[in-house]
Amino acid sequence: VVGLGNYGLWGTRHSVGMEVLDRLARQLAVAEGWRMDKRCCADVVLATAHGLELVLLKPRRFMNLNGLSVASAAEIYNLGPKDIYLVHDDLDKPLGKVAIKLGGSARGHNGVQSCISALHSSEMTRLRIGIGRP
């Protein structure tokens, strides 16, 4: 599960994906376990939920380069595009509205496009969180 965003720009709508992962880590009681993994240039924590082993990932790169971290982590943890869930902001959805989408285009989202390019696939599931237009 990848929280897309601009690392270090906490509290901005554009980094809502990372904030969702922080909340998920707290709910799974692994929030104290985040560690920097230099191999994929990301903060990583492992968790278990409903019998599934999860890798939670917050790339430490700018949004348009998040895919490099995701592709490296996919290789390290032996994951394919279909195993990856991207959590990201969506300007075209009203604030707080959520949608799940399987595959498809990036719809203008630079972080998603970076992941598609780095993984050579658009088959990732996306949790799109509405942030509305300013």
Do the bridges between strand 52-59 and strand 85-90 make them parallel or antiparallel, or are there none, so unpaired? unpaired
Question: Is 109 known to be catalytic?
Answer: no
Catalytic: which of 14, 50, 88, 109?
A: 14
**Beta carbons of 100 and 127 less than 8 angstroms apart:** yes
Residues annotated catalytic, as ranges: 14
